[in-house]
Structure 1
Amino acid sequence: MKLANYVYGQWLEGAGDGIALQDPVTGEELVRVSSEGIDTGRALEFARQSGGPALRALGYEGRAALLGAIVEVLSAKRAEYFDIALRNSGSTEADAAFDVDGAIFTLKSYARAGKALGPARHLKEGARVALAKTDAFQGQHFLMPLTGVAVFINAFNFPAWGLWEKAAPALLAGVPVLVKPATPTAWLTQRMVEDVVKAGILPAGALSIVCGSARDLLDHVGECDVVSFTGSADTAARMRTHPNVVARSVRINIEADSINSAILGPDAQPGTPEFDLAVKEIVREMTIKTGQKCTAIRRVFAPAAASRSLADAVAAKLASYRVGNPKSEGVRVGPLVSRAQQAAALEGLAKLREECETVFGGGVDFAPVDADPAVSAFVQPTLLYCDKGLDARHVHDVEVFGPVATIVPYADTAEAIALARRGRGSLVASVYSGDAAFLAELVPGIADLHGRVMVVDAAVGANHTGHGNVMPTCLHGGPGRAGGGEELGGLRALATYHRRCVVQGGPALLEALSRDAADAALLGS
């Protein structure tokens, strides 16, 4: 079976044999995808001319209602999506829930938040500015929805959430969406789009999908479009410098590599709640989705006196996790999504071992439960220990996109800050400490290189939302190596899909434009 593309209001199969999507446990071919013969320029123009005007005519409140209707469709199909995630991504039930339920929750959040903007069609920012000695000539800043397309070129690890966490604010802003999912796991994204299209919720052209190669897609984007990419820094660099993107100053939002950290404070010694909370979260981040999360913990910085105890505690918990076929009873850790990803992870792990010792995992004779290592894509959860600190290179520069983390001891707060900053920009750091003096120095010392800093102490306990869990009401993104992009953050995300402009004129004109505007201050709520 070949998955169809949905463009210019039509379902079209790509030409040729296409690319096979496989079960990462058995190697079985599942479906094929192809974008050959698809006119991407026409697809974008149809979205601009048909989908965009129809969406913007509804106002924010009307578009929020559309998101709510999408939630109902996806919720009804949840079991089918879990089955696709199991077969195409090797997802355990917990892994599938993280992706699928996360997508539905994010859509619900934006459906609810969008109602606060009412029937308005654009946003008014701040008070009027006097431009003359009298009130005859004034200025008013507005945020106007873009008249282009939100183009999503997504990663393989979140085929459900990766689509809807981007699409929810774009659609709410009145901007149509064209998604190009990562090929290895495109099936789930395509099925969700198919279900929403069949339900007739969105206007024609509001949602399009191209499966397979992006081909010449970037040749056709324009100055009113937004391109959002999640993936490797190398690919992101090529996209930023694409001749058409540069020539037309296309807005581009990037989430790239991120070597995230967990940091234990000097008070987080064995036996303390902070120590135990850190152990639990490190193991969770190494094993949920088999470590295939852009937000997963890759480096763990611990006080030198507690670092070995931490390594022992994490290793002991990892030893109790069964790794293998998610269909088998008791399995908690599945495969990577493909043999190619397995090979990349093992190559990165080999580099880390050049400067680390292995505490747990990584055995050459590792045998997954109920799976043939010769055809499957498993990587055993592996914990490393590196005592080289700032002198290490690979630990701070190589992201192994799998179930691998490295513990690095530090001597004092200044060294902990320096180690965290060696990541050169990360999506998230989590800190486990109740030491006020330590936190007062550490958090400001790392905040400018992190999109999110999560601090957990005994009082927070199990109430925290998780190191790697991206909440729709909070910012997702990070500077430097992490891509420099921003997503989510509640209604703040709408700013990506609006253009700020100032209208200068008489009071009557500005009053007329303001009557159809919601207060942009609501984006910060």
Structure 2
Amino acid sequence: MSTTTLSPEPARTAAAGRPVLDPATGAVLETVPDSSIAEVDAAIARALTAFTAGPWPALTRTQRGRLLLRVADVIEARSEELYRLETRNNGRPVTETRAQLSRVPEWFRYNAGLLAAQRDSVLPSDGPYLTYQRRAPLGVCGIITPFNHPLLILARSLSAALATGNTVVVKPSETTPLSTLALVDLLAEAGVPDGVVTVVTGGREVGERLTGHPDIAKITLTGGTEAGRAAAVATARRFARVTAELGGKTPIAVFDDIDPVVAAEGAAFAAFVAAGQSCVAGSRFLVQEGIYAEFVAALARRADAIRIGDPSDPATQLGPLVSAAQRDKVRALVEAGRVEGARIAAGGGVPDLPAPLNQGFFLQPTVIADATMDMRVAREEIFGPVAVVVPFRDEADAIAKANDNRFGLGAGVWTRDLARGHRVADAVRAGMVWVNDHHRLEPSLPWGGIKESGTGRDAGTESFDDFTWIKTVVVRTAADDVDWYGADAPGRLN
């Protein structure tokens, strides 16, 4: 099904740069400049000046906390503009975008709270000494964000970086920079000093320069595994920090003690929200043999009933993929599954939509059944609205198949046996595991994976702390002086 209320807005263009497309129609929304290497260097120099001079380093923790709360209030007040802008730029249905971006202020408020509650540690020392630790900001940090959740992923890291006193240079995805550029204006409106947050736009070369620059103290990157590996190598050369949230091939084990129709409804949300363009999307469903056929049929029915159409229409349930290239990649993997012997139980093609949506990058929600663990669709990240279903025998088989992958970002378990849910969650090698739910996140929950899904954590106290370095201070409190080489010195040999 489709919706047809699209009202294209006139494109805004610049003299030169990179066109930013509306993925629902293929039309140009705006042309954004490609930052040159010199412009990236200038942005970093500006951020370094803001870190070392001017008002930012002079702010107290209380003042920074209040500023973050003002940022949250401004974002909340302008949220409708941000929902609409991000929906037009990345194609996610506005109902989903509204639900996600309405939570962005929470990250700024959470990190403001961590800042207010932060205490310096006093460490035990023998003798007349007081030993304590102080946390200090790292300096200039680079944040590289992906196309799928531009503002949420940025807020996750940016709020922690600012709370701890760092300055930031942001590089958004070249396909979805518009909401990030809008956010920088809102930060200025909230009172964030000039140079504290700067955006550079462009493609791979801009990201490489930001990652490799000697004045960048930390990189936080969300993207593909190869991009994360390159960032790890570049930062290692100067011993800078890196947090990388990379790819995933999320296994979701569905056991036969649960109603397969209920599980299929949960599976549809896990697989098709954001058109499957999420690193933790439910892309690999491991279903116990006793309910396998019924689960596949229920999931296929649900997929066929999803309303595809204009992302700005609240009735739309599935929008387009972000680009033609992304859709081509997903279609090629679906076809590879078909060639390898899997069954396309639902979808698999391009929906028939009216103009101008017929020029967009839409793909039907797709269910691939009867897959085996050696097929590409069961092993590779697809990053589209595609659910791959693989049968399993028992709990041990489910765990073995869940862990049989190079990724380790997210996982899920559907069962009415809570003891089993805990056992499987413990046994699965993934940074995040949901039981009888999916995609649940909070500012306090550390977000990240293991294996080729990355290193480090976003959100939580882990992210807050990792934007600082620890200084240990040892103070001698005894009244007498120390003369190590004197007659009564403790080090004198008798």
Shorter-chain TM band? 0.7 to 0.9
Whether the 8 Å CA contact 1:323–1:369 is kept in 2: the answer is no
AA in 1 matched with 2:298:
A
Whether the 8 Å CA contact 2:414–2:421 is kept in 1: the answer is no
Deviation sequence 1:226-252 (CA, Å, 0-9, x none): 10111111121222223xx23211111
- Tell me: CA distance 1:507–1:323, structure 2 relative to 1, closer, same or farther (3 Å): farther
1:232: which partner in 2? 224
- Tell me: CA distance 1:387–1:207, structure 2 relative to 1, closer, same or farther (3 Å): closer
2:411: which partner in 1? 429
AA in 2 matched with 1:239:
A
- Tell me: CA distance 1:355–1:70, structure 2 relative to 1, closer, same or farther (3 Å): farther
What is the aligned-residue RMSD (CA, Å)? 2.5
Question: 3-state SS of the aligned residue for 1:39?
Answer: helix
2:21: which partner in 1? 22
1:399: which partner in 2? 381
- Matched residue pairs, number? 463
- Picking from 435, 444, 448, the partner of 1:455 is 435
1:351 aligns with 2:336: yes
Q: Write the distance in 2 (CA, Å) between the matches of 1:323 and 1:267.
A: 32
Q: Write the distance in 2 (CA, Å) between the matches of 1:226 and 1:283.
A: 37
- Picking from 204, 210, 221, the partner of 1:217 is 210
Residue 503 of structure 1: how far off its partner (Å): 2.8
Whether the 8 Å CA contact 1:48–1:147 is kept in 2: the answer is no
Q: Write the distance in 2 (CA, Å) between the matches of 1:247 and 1:327.
A: 45
AA in 2 matched with 1:480:
K
- Tell me: CA distance 1:318–1:143, structure 2 relative to 1, closer, same or farther (3 Å): farther
Q: Write the distance in 2 (CA, Å) between the matches of 1:356 and 1:484.
A: 33
Q: Write the distance in 1 (CA, Å) between the matches of 2:283 and 2:56.
A: 41
Question: 3-state SS of the aligned residue for 2:194?
Answer: coil
- Tell me: CA distance 1:441–1:201, structure 2 relative to 1, closer, same or farther (3 Å): same
2:364: which partner in 1? 380
Residue 24 of structure 1: how far off its partner (Å): 1.1
Structure-to-structure mapping, 1:103-182, within 5 angstroms: 103-117=104-118, 123-125=119-121, 127-130=123-126, 134-135=127-128, 137=129, 139-140=131-132, 142-182=133-173
- Tell me: CA distance 1:65–1:508, structure 2 relative to 1, closer, same or farther (3 Å): farther
1:522: which partner in 2? none
Residue 37 of structure 1: how far off its partner (Å): 6.4
Q: Write the distance in 1 (CA, Å) between the matches of 2:88 and 2:475.
A: 60
AA in 2 matched with 1:402:
G
Whether the 8 Å CA contact 2:138–2:469 is kept in 1: the answer is no
1:264: which partner in 2? 254
Whether the 8 Å CA contact 2:334–2:377 is kept in 1: the answer is no
Q: Write the distance in 1 (CA, Å) between the matches of 2:478 and 2:363.
A: 66
Deviation sequence 1:356-393 (CA, Å, 0-9, x none): 211111136x31355443x21011100111352x4x24
Residue 129 of structure 1: how far off its partner (Å): 2.8
Structure-to-structure mapping, 1:207-356, within 5 angstroms: 207-213=197-203, 214-215=205-206, 216-222=209-215, 225-242=217-234, 245-270=235-260, 276=262, 278-327=263-312, 330-353=315-338, 354-356=340-342
AA in 1 matched with 2:435:
V
Residue 51 of structure 1: how far off its partner (Å): 3.6
AA in 2 matched with 1:486:
R
1:485 aligns with 2:481: no
Q: Write the distance in 1 (CA, Å) between the matches of 2:363 and 2:145.
A: 23
Whether the 8 Å CA contact 1:263–1:432 is kept in 2: the answer is yes
Whether the 8 Å CA contact 1:298–1:404 is kept in 2: the answer is yes
TM-score by length of 1: 0.82
1:40: which partner in 2? 40
- Picking from 475, 480, 485, the partner of 2:446 is 475
Deviation sequence 1:339-364 (CA, Å, 0-9, x none): 12212222222233324211111136
Whether the 8 Å CA contact 2:86–2:179 is kept in 1: the answer is yes
1:499 aligns with 2:469: yes
Residue 328 of structure 1: how far off its partner (Å): 5.1
Q: Write the distance in 2 (CA, Å) between the matches of 1:183 and 1:406.
A: 29
Q: Write the distance in 2 (CA, Å) between the matches of 1:43 and 1:63.
A: 22
Whether the 8 Å CA contact 2:321–2:362 is kept in 1: the answer is yes
AA in 2 matched with 1:279:
A
Q: Write the distance in 2 (CA, Å) between the matches of 1:22 and 1:267.
A: 46
**Seq. identity, %:** 25
Residue 218 of structure 1: how far off its partner (Å): 2.9
Residue 56 of structure 1: how far off its partner (Å): 4.3
Residue 492 of structure 1: how far off its partner (Å): 2.9
Residue 303 of structure 1: how far off its partner (Å): 0.9
Deviation sequence 1:384-414 (CA, Å, 0-9, x none): 11352x4x24234211111111111111111
1:193 aligns with 2:193: no
Q: Write the distance in 2 (CA, Å) between the matches of 1:37 and 1:422.
A: 41
AA in 1 matched with 2:327:
Q
Deviation sequence 1:261-286 (CA, Å, 0-9, x none): 2222342244xxxx61x322211123
Whether the 8 Å CA contact 2:138–2:166 is kept in 1: the answer is yes
Q: Write the distance in 1 (CA, Å) between the matches of 2:253 and 2:27.
A: 41
Q: Write the distance in 2 (CA, Å) between the matches of 1:428 and 1:508.
A: 53
Residue 189 of structure 1: how far off its partner (Å): 0.7
Q: Write the distance in 2 (CA, Å) between the matches of 1:441 and 1:328.
A: 42
Q: Write the distance in 2 (CA, Å) between the matches of 1:161 and 1:508.
A: 52
Residue 30 of structure 1: how far off its partner (Å): 1.1
Q: Write the distance in 2 (CA, Å) between the matches of 1:433 and 1:45.
A: 53
AA in 2 matched with 1:349:
V
Residue 441 of structure 1: how far off its partner (Å): 3.3
Instruction: Tell me which structure has the larger Cα radius of gyration.
Output: 2
1:6: which partner in 2? none
Whether the 8 Å CA contact 1:258–1:423 is kept in 2: the answer is no
1:63: which partner in 2? 64
Whether the 8 Å CA contact 1:151–1:227 is kept in 2: the answer is yes
Using the TM superposition, name which of 324-333 and 250-259 deviates more: 324-333
Deviation sequence 1:4-51 (CA, Å, 0-9, x none): xxxxxxxxx9xx711000111221111111213653223223212324
In structure 1, stretches of 5+ residues that fail to align are 4-12, 118-122, 457-465, 510-525
Q: Write the distance in 2 (CA, Å) between the matches of 1:502 and 1:196.
A: 33
Whether the 8 Å CA contact 1:159–1:181 is kept in 2: the answer is yes
Question: 3-state SS of the aligned residue for 1:183?
Answer: coil
Using the TM superposition, name which of 181-190 and 378-387 deviates more: 378-387
Whether the 8 Å CA contact 1:259–1:299 is kept in 2: the answer is yes
Whether the 8 Å CA contact 2:93–2:313 is kept in 1: the answer is no
Residue 327 of structure 1: how far off its partner (Å): 4.3
2:74: which partner in 1? 73
